[in-house]
Amino acid sequence: MKKNNTFFISCDTAQQQCDKVQYKEATLYEKFTLRLHLLFCKYCKFYTKKNHKLTDLIHQGHLHSIPNENKSKMKSLLNKEISK
């Protein structure tokens, strides 16, 4: 029978917890186990670093969506061109 170790987690679980930490949904226990895993796993550490970098770039991008008026105009133009 395999012994269940509560402090060491799999890489899949670590990636899920990394995402939770970024969106501020992780519990204190999940943060602790993730940090412990990152001490030993260079692949998950690399994933976490890339994930944080991507999130920072998205926040710095000041992305804006198209206003609803422009969306409806574009939609009507596309429908008009498709129906030709």
Instruction: Look at residue 4 and tell me if it is in a domain.
Output: no
Q: What is the pTM of this model?
A: 0.64
Structural domains in the chain (count): 1
Instruction: Look at residue 19 and tell me if it is in a domain.
Output: yes
How many CB atoms are located within 10 Å of the residue 44 CB?
22
Instruction: Look at residue 3 and tell me if it is in a domain.
Output: no
- Report the C-alpha gap between 59 and 70 in whole angstroms: 24
Instruction: Look at residue 17 and tell me if it is in a domain.
Output: yes
* Parent domain of 37: 11-83
Residue with tokens 């799999």: 10
The predicted-structure confidence for 38-50, as pLDDT tens digits, reads as follows: 999 999 999 999 9
The predicted-structure confidence for 8-56, as pLDDT tens digits, reads as follows: 899 999 999 999 998 889 999 999 999 999 999 999 999 999 999 998 8
